[in-house]
């Protein structure tokens, strides 16, 4: 199960994920993000993984695809909140996949990196 908390503030979309982001739940997140992009024209994203229990290859690909879409439209994405569980199990995969995406320890730091 995946819980998605999204907040649009200060020109940025904060996406807070809890639970499991995998092949089964990725579609739910994709649909939610597509809707916000279409309705709000969002170009700046902060993805908070602090409460994410696990992420698989499909979840990583979803985030990477959104990152590439965003950068094509001169937007920016920052990932924050790598929790110890995620770090221990998939950090190597995340580091390789997300090497082009800026990361920070928390949302406040992410705000500073986006700096709009």
The kind and range of the H/E element at 77 are strand 76-80
CATH number of 2-114: 3.30.750.24
What is the Cα–Cα distance from 114 to 103, expressed in whole angstroms?
Answer: 11
CA 2 – CA 19 distance, rounded (Å): 5
User: pLDDT tens for residues 74-114?
Assistant: 899 999 987 776 766 565 666 666 677 888 889 999 988 88
More confident residue, 95 or 53: 53
Q: What is the pLDDT of residue 81?
A: 87
According to the model, what pLDDT value does residue 16 have?
A: 97
pTM of the entire predicted model: 0.86
Q: What is the pLDDT of residues 11-50, one digit of tens each?
A: 889 999 999 999 999 999 999 998 888 888 888 999 999 9
* pLDDT tens digit sequence for 63-78: 888 888 888 888 999 9
Cα 17 from Cα 108, distance rounded (Å): 17
Report the first-to-last Cα separation within the chain, whole angstroms: 33
d(CA 101, CA 97): 9
């Amino acid at each position: 199960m995946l819980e998605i908390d999204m907040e649009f503030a200060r020109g940025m979309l904060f996406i807070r994920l809890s639970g499991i982001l995998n092949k089964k739940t990725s579609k739910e997140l994709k649909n939610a993000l597509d809707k916000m992009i279409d309705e709000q024209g969002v170009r700046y994203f902060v993805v908070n993984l602090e409460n994410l229990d696990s992420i698989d290859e499909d979840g990583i690909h979803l985030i990477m695809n959104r990152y590439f879409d965003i950068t094509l439209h001169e937007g920016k994405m920052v990932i924050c909140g790598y929790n110890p569980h995620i770090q221990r199990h998939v950090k190597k995969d995340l580091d390789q996949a997300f090497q082009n995406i800026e990361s920070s320890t928390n949302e406040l730091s992410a705000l500073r990196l986006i700096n709009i």
